[in-house]
Amino acid sequence: MMEEALALRQLDVTKLDMLPKILAQAGYSNRNNDYGTRNANGLISGSQDRVHTLSELGMSWSLLDLGMGYYNSLQQADRVLVAAEKRRKAMHLLMQDVRTAFWRVASAQRLQDQVKAAIKMSEEALADARKVEESRVRNPVDALRYQRQVLENLRLLEAVAQELSAAQVDLAALINAPWEPPSKSSNPTRARRRPIS
């Protein structure tokens, strides 16, 4: 919007360049003696004042300046159109971003409970796999391989949950709405994870 307003102001300035140029000059002169001629009787004739002012006002209108001003105003009018198109494109991109963020938030609201349940199930499966590993019911290599797969799935689920929660922040920023983070009590408790050696 600022670029468009600046381009419009520049268009007004370039239109003024097509007007004729007005030149004004002023000055004064003084002297310390009288100017004139003395006649036979000693009288001064044709004298001028000791101090007098000079002023001049002129107007010029060149066809070359008119043509240059006209073409400059046409170019500036094109710049106004470019700035308006930039503004329209920015508005269009903003609307697209808001629409995308809205549907991300709608998806997050529908999937949030399912993702939390899947994270809880993954953490329970990881705890069960550790118990099996400690009791040595299965081959330790198989137990560790299963734990690694569960941890990778858990990492993917947490990335999805984080992306879904970030959608609300993005939408609130795009529509300039206040946003409060959810309370920590609503977050599911996560079991401490032991790194696989």
Cα three-residue angle 67-2-6, rounded to 5 degrees: 20
Q: In this structure, what token pair is assigned to residue 23?
A: 């030149």
* Mean pLDDT in residue range 160-184: 78
Rounded Cα distance, 164 and 158, in Å: 10
Mean pLDDT on 2-25: 76
Across 62-66, 77-81, 130-134, 173-177, which has the greatest mean pLDDT? 77-81
30-41: average pLDDT: 59
What per-residue confidence (pLDDT) applies to 73? 85
One-letter amino acid for residue 159 of the chain: A
**pLDDT value of position 23:** 63
Domain boundaries in the chain? Answer: 100-186
Which positions ≥6 away from 34 have C-beta within 8 Å?
44, 47, 50
Computed over every residue of the chain, the mean pLDDT equals: 76
Round to whole Å and give the CA distance between 169 and 146: 35
Rounded CA gap, 5 and 10, in Å?
A: 9
Contact between residue 168 and residue 101 where contact means Cβ atoms under 8 Å apart? no
Burial of 101 (0-12, 13-18, 19+ CB in 10 A): buried
User: pTM value?
Assistant: 0.47
Q: What is the pLDDT of residues 78-120, one digit of tens each?
A: 888 998 999 999 999 999 999 998 898 888 888 888 888 888 8
